[in-house]
Every structure is written in C-alpha cells, then in structure tokens.
Amino acid sequence: MNPLASKNRASILNRLDNEYFDLVIIGGGITGAGIALDASSRGMKVALVEMRDFASGTSSKSTKLVHGGLRYLKQLEVALVREVGLERAIVHRLAPHLVAAEKMLLPLIEGGTYGKLSTSFGLMVYDFLADVHEEDKRKMLSKEETLEHEPILRKEGLKGGGIYAEYRTDDARLTIETIKTAMKYEALSMNYVKAEDFIYENDTIIGVKCRDLLNDTTFEINASYVVSAAGPWVDKLRKKDKSLEGKHLFLSKGSHIVVPHERLPIQQAVYFDIPDGRMMFAIPRNRVTYLGTTDTPYEGDINDVIASKEDGQYILDGTNQMFPDANLTLEDVESSWAGLRPLIHEEGKSASEMSRKDEIFESETGLISIAGGKLTGYRKMAERIVDLVSKKFEKEYEKEFGDCFTDKIPLGGGLFGSEAEVFEYQKVVLKDIQKMDLEDSFATYLVRNYGRQVDGILAFAKKSNEPAEIAMAKAELNHCLEKELVFTALDFFNRRTGRLYFNIITIQPVLEAILKEMQTVFNWDETRVKKERDAVLISINKCSNLLG
Ligand code: FAD
C-alpha cells in the first residue's frame, strides 16, 4: 500500500487505529515533519497526525528564508545564530532545488540600524559562526556599487551596503518533502486528523484520541510516547493535558504582501531599514516580489490569520520609503499571507525583542511539547526531541536507537549533487516547457517545486491533448494525488503548488478542470464541489483584496 496516495486514506487510518507506535507526533508543520523523519530514520515506529493540511499553520506563512538571522546577532543570540547559520548549508545540501542560494543586499543608510563598521564586523562574525565558504563571504560595497546592485534603491542618505549569503525556500514544500521522506522510513502520516484528547493509564499518556475531520469519525492511536509539535496550538494541548503552567506561548503575527515583479523590479533579495527602526525583506521570486514582515502581538482567532489592510499599508510605506520611485499602493497587492510566530513569552519584551529559541516542555503525564524556534533550525530541534525520547526508551524499555543522521538524508525530489546540477536539469526541463508553449519561468517553478519528480509530471502532461496550461495543472494534481496526500483543492493551490501566493492569476483558468478531476477521483457530489470552489474563491479574495 502506497502511504502517500490520497486514495489509500482509509487503509492508512485503519493502520493508525490498529497498530502500536513508538511515537505519535501531533502537528504536521516543519517541526513535526522533522521529528517524524529523525525518529523513523533511527528505527522508531512513528505516526504523525495533522488537523488541517500539512504545513497549513506557520510553516506555510514564513518569510521562506533558510537564514541565520542577522538581527539575532544584534540581540547577542550567538548560539542561536551559530546553530541556524550552520544548518543553512546542510539543508541546502539535502534539497538544493528547494533551498536555493540567494545573495542578500543590506543597504546602509544615514541613521539606519547598522553603521558601516558595525555591519562589516557583524557580517564577518555571521560568516564565521556559520562557517561560510570563502567565495560566499560578505562583501562591503560603496554607495556606487550598492546602486549598481540595486539601481532602484533610495539614493538620498545611502552610505553603501553589504552583500552576504542566505538561502530561499518554500516552507510548505520543505515540510511536505520532509514528511514524504519520513514515510520512506515507514512513518505513517495523515492530514485532516485532529488530536482531540489524550488517553491516560495511571496518569500517564499512552495515546491520542483522534477525529478524522473528513469523515467525522473517531479512533485512537496507542504509543509509548506522545510529542506535541503543534506550533501556535501547543498551549491548547498543554491545557487539555492540564499541564499548562510556568512558561507559555506569546503569539506574534507576521504578514507578507506580494506585488508583480515589474512593480518592484529588484535584482536580488534586499534586507532594509524602515522608519520605525525595524527591518524588512523584499524578495524576488519568478514573476513576483514579496515583502514583509510585520511583528505584532496577536489575540484573534488562531485558525484564521490574514494580512489586514493596515498590515499591507505598513509594509508598503516601509518599501516606498526605501524604493521611492516604486510608489506602490494597496492596488498593486496581488496576494498576501499572515502567520503566527509561537514565541516563548518573556516579561517586559516586545514581540520583535523576544527570543526565537525553541523550548521543550515535559509534563508529569509524559506529554512532550516543543515550540518556538525557526524553520531553519528544524533538523536540530528534531534531533533534541528524538534524543530525549531515545533516552526515555533506554531507561524505561531498555530499547536502544542510534544517533541522528538526518544531515545525510536527501529530501524527496532533492536528488541533486549540487545547485549546478539543478540548473542543468532546469535547462532540460525548459526544452519541454518551450515545446508546450508555456512561459519559460514555468520550468524554474516546476524544478524548484518538485525537483527530479518533474520527470513524472512532464511524462503525464505529454500524454494529454488538452491545452498546455490545463494539461500541466492536471499532471501536477496527479502527482500530488499519488505522492502527496492531497484532499482539497486548496491543498493543491496553496501548500503543494504555491500558486495562491506566487501565481494567483493562474488559478482561475484551471480551477474548473482541477475540481472536475478531484470530483472524479474522490467521487464528490455537486455540493462538495461547490464547497471546494467557494473555499478557493474566498481564499483568493482574502489574499488579494486588502482594500478592506
Ligand atoms: P506550525 O507550522 O504552525 O505547525 C503546527 C501544526 O500543528 C499546524 O499545522 C496545526 O494545524 C497542527 N495542529 C495543532 N493542533 C493540532 C491537533 N490538536 N491535532 C493535530 N494537529 C494539530 N523561520 C525561518 O527559519 N525563516 C524565516 O524566514 C521565517 N520567517 C517567519 C516569518 C513569519 C511571519 C513567521 C510567523 C515565522 C517565521 N519563521 C521563519 C519561523 C517559522 O516559520 C516557524 O518557526 C515554523 O514554521 C514553526 O513550525 P511548527 O511546525 O512548529 O508550527
């Protein structure tokens, strides 16, 4: 039985219900995914449940950088910067198509956060901590050189700049490929399964009570240990376990907006000052540029977090100030997203001052929860959790598991030796894309999204007589139905293809074809098809319409 095929849902749920697991993980964001891969590759029998779609929480709403976090250096978080700095190169090596090298330009302005000398020193320390290769080390630039890199920057008050190495990814795809790789090590994962409660024996957790949200049925998963990697929902589960005491989460909202690249035609990523003393990113990505982020305390509904008109205006004002000829307005916003940082609360500190370090909580009932941290550090967070669980196995069951080796496991479609191989493969794919009369950028999108899995997608598309756009969308859907546990149209348009954020205008032309295909595969009635269509259209409206 293929545990990645959507059609096998009932069999997978049956196995979750009837088999006994070493470890159950609650939460299919990057943290849960990383733990599933680490634990299963060390030989543990693992189950993972996600109440919505994989990566639908914070792990599809980040700035999508695999980065060391230059600003944490300023807050003297040296250990954090070293750990995530070193992780960047590892994650890049594991999936070079998905985690791409991206030079970051840091313009230095009069009265800005960073002075010339302190930037030069800071970036040198940053490179040193992250063990950056000689050729990628930071370069300091004069005003003229900075403007050569980015001619549309504000000239007034510009003192020069620094350019340094970072990486760009797609957080949702990174999460999904990690889950898929864990499944190669026999982990079982399922989305739309909510952990509703815990099962106790002598006041110790021995499993999880689950609800299949697609069929509204319940079942139980029994296991030796339970880890909650529920991100912003971690405290809700600690409360359910009656163990919410001491440190707790503080949720900070971060929004991003997307504009057509021609409206902000930057040549590389830029990390720039905004007037209130914070800093923001502008990142080019195929036919768009995305901008963000905000950092504000959040007390609303954690299941429905959206970028508001005020968030959008704040980001636009900051951007227009650094790129004065752009004159961006809310009408330029093509898409947007907002997510919650599950930070560990620190008395007297503002959202942006609070540490991004992760924290593990262990309750007397045996519930292990992990929150905080960064997308970039997911592998090390997973290692810490699985080391902890391994020790418990040794002590309580005299059972031994080996050491972490996820730094040697390539992710999903990432079977490339280097980024140069990714570019070579992209050229091959481009030839097919041109034959199909699709835009060249589609080749980049496909390879960056699916890696070598594009071979199968193209082979499927080539068999079709339909218009190329439809044929390609259906070929992608077929891949996702066979290998990525897709169950709703939004799973496809958001977490699997990223179209909702980065190519929103391409959804409507293929929407009906995708709905029809899913209707056939899942045997949906017309009411369900309408529900799916409405969900996509409402999401398009929420993301693109910040005008109020
Ligand atoms: P989540 O992704 O939220 O996953 C938790 C999952 O648990 C959710 O999918 C949820 O549905 C599920 N869940 C909850 N309760 C239950 C239940 N009862 N049953 C089943 N499932 C449940 N980090 C970086 O390294 N680089 C960046 O550029 C970056 N930018 C960021 C920008 C913003 C605006 C934000 C908000 C964060 C950013 N981060 C970044 C941080 C990073 O995104 C997060 O650290 C990471 O995504 C958290 O992942 P997670 O798996 O812990 O949480």
**SS3 letters across 405-428:** CHHHCCCCCCCCCCHHHHHHHHHH
Q: Are 316 and 328 in contact (CB under 8 A)?
A: yes
How far is the centre of ligand 1, averaged over its atoms, from the C-alpha of 83 (Å)? Answer: 19
How far is the centre of ligand 1, averaged over its atoms, from the C-alpha of 231 (Å)? Answer: 5
How far is the centre of ligand 1, averaged over its atoms, from the C-alpha of 293 (Å)? Answer: 15
For residue 318, pLDDT beyond 90:
yes
414 confidence band (pLDDT: 50, 70, 90): low
- Supply the residue whose CA is at minimum distance from atom 45 of ligand 1: 374
- Supply the residue whose CA is at minimum distance from atom 6 of ligand 1: 27
Distance CA 55, CA 179 (A): 10
- Give the distance, in angstroms, between the CA of residue 141 and the centroid of all CA atoms in the same chain: 32
Distance CA 514, CA 524 (A): 13
Ligand 1 pocket member 240 (CB < 6 A): no
List the end-to-end C-alpha distance of the chain, in Å, as a whole number: 48
- Give the distance, in angstroms, between the CA of residue 215 and the centroid of all CA atoms in the same chain: 27
Ligand 1 pocket member 85 (CB < 6 A): no
Ligand 1 pocket member 56 (CB < 6 A): yes
Per-residue pLDDT, 350:
74
The residue to which tokens 């952990």 are assigned = 195
Please give the number of the atom of ligand 1 that sits closest to the Cα of 372: 45
Q: Are 29 and 57 in contact (CB under 8 A)?
A: yes
Ligand 1 pocket member 71 (CB < 6 A): no
Query: pLDDT per residue over 240-298, tens digit each?
Result: 999 988 888 999 999 999 999 999 999 999 999 998 989 999 999 999 999 999 999 99
Please give the number of the atom of ligand 1 that sits closest to the Cα of 252: 36
Q: What backbone torsions phi and psi does residue 512 show, to the nearest 5 degrees?
A: -65, -40
For residue 224, pLDDT beyond 80:
yes
548 confidence band (pLDDT: 50, 70, 90): low
For residue 68, pLDDT beyond 80:
no
Question: For the chain, what percent of residues have pLDDT higher than 70?
Answer: 99
How far is the centre of ligand 1, averaged over its atoms, from the C-alpha of 401 (Å)? Answer: 27
How far is the centre of ligand 1, averaged over its atoms, from the C-alpha of 269 (Å)? Answer: 23
49-53, 95-99, 246-250, 492-496: lowest mean pLDDT where?
Answer: 246-250
Per-residue pLDDT, 93:
93
Q: Are 501 and 307 in contact (CB under 8 A)?
A: no
How far is the centre of ligand 1, averaged over its atoms, from the C-alpha of 388 (Å)? Answer: 21
How far is the centre of ligand 1, averaged over its atoms, from the C-alpha of 57 (Å)? Answer: 5
Q: How many Cα atoms occupy the beta-carbon half-sphere of 277 within 13 Å?
A: 2
Helix intervals (H) in 211-332: 234-240, 309-322
- Give the distance, in angstroms, between the CA of residue 335 and the centroid of all CA atoms in the same chain: 17
Distance CA 314, CA 311 (A): 5
- Supply the residue whose CA is at minimum distance from atom 9 of ligand 1: 57
Ligand 1 pocket member 254 (CB < 6 A): yes
Q: What is the mean pLDDT of residues 522-541?
A: 98
Per-residue pLDDT, 83:
84
Q: What backbone torsions phi and psi does residue 72 show, to the nearest 5 degrees?
A: -70, -20
Ligand 1 pocket member 326 (CB < 6 A): no
- 130 in the Ramachandran plot: left (φ > 0), alpha (ψ -120 to 50) or beta? alpha
Mean pLDDT across the chain, nearest whole number?
94
Candidate of 58, 283, 304 to mutate for ligand 1, largest count of ligand atoms within 8 Å of Cβ: 58
Is the four-CA dihedral 90, 93, 95, 100 of positive or negative sign? positive
**Token pair of 260 as six digits:** 């057509």
Distance CA 533, CA 519 (A): 11
Report the DSSP pairing between strands 217-228 and 368-372.
parallel
Ligand 1 pocket member 293 (CB < 6 A): yes
List Cβ neighbours of 263 (8 Å cut-off, separation of 6 or more): 289, 326, 328, 332
Please give the number of the atom of ligand 1 that sits closest to the Cα of 65: 28
DSSP letter string, 244-273? --SS-EEEEEEEEEEEEGGGS--SSEEEEE
How far is the centre of ligand 1, averaged over its atoms, from the C-alpha of 34 (Å)? Answer: 12
How far is the centre of ligand 1, averaged over its atoms, from the C-alpha of 58 (Å)? Answer: 3
Distance CA 258, CA 277 (A): 22
Ligand 1 pocket member 91 (CB < 6 A): no
Q: Is 312 helix (H, G, I), strand (E, B) or coil?
A: helix
Ligand 1 pocket member 229 (CB < 6 A): yes
**Token pair of 505 as six digits:** 């205008």
Ligand 1 pocket member 343 (CB < 6 A): no
How far is the centre of ligand 1, averaged over its atoms, from the C-alpha of 487 (Å)? Answer: 20
Q: What is the mean pLDDT of residues 441-445?
A: 95
Q: What is the mean pLDDT of residues 221-229?
A: 98
How far is the centre of ligand 1, averaged over its atoms, from the C-alpha of 372 (Å)? Answer: 9
Ligand 1 pocket member 57 (CB < 6 A): yes
Distance CA 97, CA 386 (A): 27
- Supply the residue whose CA is at minimum distance from atom 43 of ligand 1: 62
User: Amino acid letter at 533?
Assistant: R
- Supply the residue whose CA is at minimum distance from atom 51 of ligand 1: 29
Q: pTM to 2 decimals?
A: 0.97
How far is the centre of ligand 1, averaged over its atoms, from the C-alpha of 306 (Å)? Answer: 15
